[in-house]
Amino acid sequence: MPTSEDALTRLYEDIWNGSNLDTADELVHEEYIIHDRELATEMQGPELYTALASRTREIFPDMKFEIEDMIAAGEKIAIRWTMTGTHQGPMSDIEPTGRQVELTAIEINRFEDGKLIETWTQSDQVGLMQQLGVDMGDM
């Protein structure tokens, strides 16, 4: 069984930077949930994980994630990542802008039985909106 650090790295490489969604069936727990108010959904498990990656890829088809830092303690892993990509798909009420963006986030991931079961994410959404030219007074 891979370490939690190896599993998380593989999820980012295979799913977020690649298109091997089957990796989620192997490394994401059936009861996986994400704590992010902007991503409220009834879905869970590998279905949720792959849906999030697929939707993000629709918005930023050339997205690339780089894990900048990783700190593991027991079954929890904190990472700081940077995503770069071109805004080519609609995102909520924001039509595609064609702009290159860079989004940073800090994430805490919890593993159970060798599988990802829970994620907490805090990302720089204000910075993303500014890069897309969104008037923050409208929000």
Q: Do residues 131 and 102 lie in contact, with contact meaning Cβ atoms separated by under 8 Å?
A: yes
pLDDT at 58: 97
User: What is the model's pLDDT at position 128?
Assistant: 97
The Cα–Cα gap between 109 and 107 comes to: 6
38 within 8 A of 125, measured Cβ to Cβ: yes
For 137, residues 6+ apart whose C-beta sits below 8 A from its C-beta are none
Per CATH, the number for 4-138 is 3.10.450.50
The H or E element spanning position 121 is strand 115-123
User: Is the separation of the CB atoms in 132 and 87 below 8 Å?
Assistant: yes
**pLDDT at position 37:** 66
Residue 121 CB contacts under 8 Å (≥ 6 apart), including other chains: 34, 35, 36, 105, 106, 107
What global pTM score does this model have? 0.90
Q: What is the pLDDT of residue 19?
A: 87
pLDDT of residue 43: 80
CB 4 within 8 A of CB 72: yes
Local confidence pLDDT in tens for the 139 residues of the chain: 779 999 999 999 999 999 899 999 999 999 999 987 666 667 899 999 999 999 999 999 999 999 999 999 999 999 999 999 999 999 988 999 999 999 999 999 999 999 999 999 999 999 999 999 998 775 5
Q: Provide the pLDDT for residue 92.
A: 87
List the alpha helices (DSSP H) in 1-139. Answer: 4-11, 23-27, 45-59, 125-131
φ/ψ of 95, rounded to 5, equals -70, 155
